[in-house]
């Protein structure tokens, strides 16, 4: 009888530890997701950024895509992988086109910063991956 009680108690402790570990992992993932998304979401609420800030975010997004092994299409633009890819678009003039970050990077970040370093930008829209909840697209435009 004591042996059965001890076995049941040990199994119960193991189950509780597994549940605690799973919950802790989930909380950690949620924190990481909030931290990652927060890097972009803080600009959605009307916070003004300069061209240098947009350039920094473009560099970060390019690095993240490279680190996450996101594939590129024939034009060299990153392809949405529905999990952890990110695209930034920048509208430089009113009623103009949204330029993808790869195009700006291709033309040259130095030129972008030189021409738009003191321009005010605002974030107009953010889209998220359905599977992971991570930011997938961020849209900026000159104010």
Sketch the domain layout of the chain as residue ranges.
5-142
Convert the pLDDT of each residue in 110-141 to its tens digit. 888 888 888 889 999 999 999 899 999 999 99
pLDDT digits (tens, 9 = 90+) for 54-92: 999 999 999 999 999 999 999 889 999 999 999 999 998
Task: Look at residues 74, 3, 101, 83 and name the one whose alpha carbon lies nearest to residue 36.
Answer: 83
Vertex 122 angle, CA 116 and 126, to 5°: 125
This prediction has a pTM of 0.79
- Per-residue pLDDT band at 3 (split at 50, 70, 90): confident
Handedness of CA 120, 124, 129, 133 (dihedral sign): positive
């Amino acid at each position: 009888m004591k042996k059965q009680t001890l076995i049941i108690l040990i199994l119960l402790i193991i189950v509780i530890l597994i549940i605690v570990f799973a919950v802790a992992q989930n909380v950690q993932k949620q924190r990481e997701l909030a931290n990652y998304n927060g890097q972009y979401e803080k600009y959605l609420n009307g916070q003004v950024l300069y061209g240098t800030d947009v350039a920094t975010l473009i560099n970060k997004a390019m690095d993240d895509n490279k680190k996450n092994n996101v594939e590129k299409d024939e034009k060299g633009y990153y392809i949405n992988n529905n999990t952890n890819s990110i695209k930034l678009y920048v509208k430089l003039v009113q009623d103009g086109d949204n330029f993808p970050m790869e195009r700006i990077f291709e033309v040259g970040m130095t030129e972008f910063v030189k021409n738009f370093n003191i321009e005010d930008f605002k974030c107009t829209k953010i889209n998220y991956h359905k599977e992971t909840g991570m930011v997938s697209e961020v849209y900026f435009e000159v104010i």
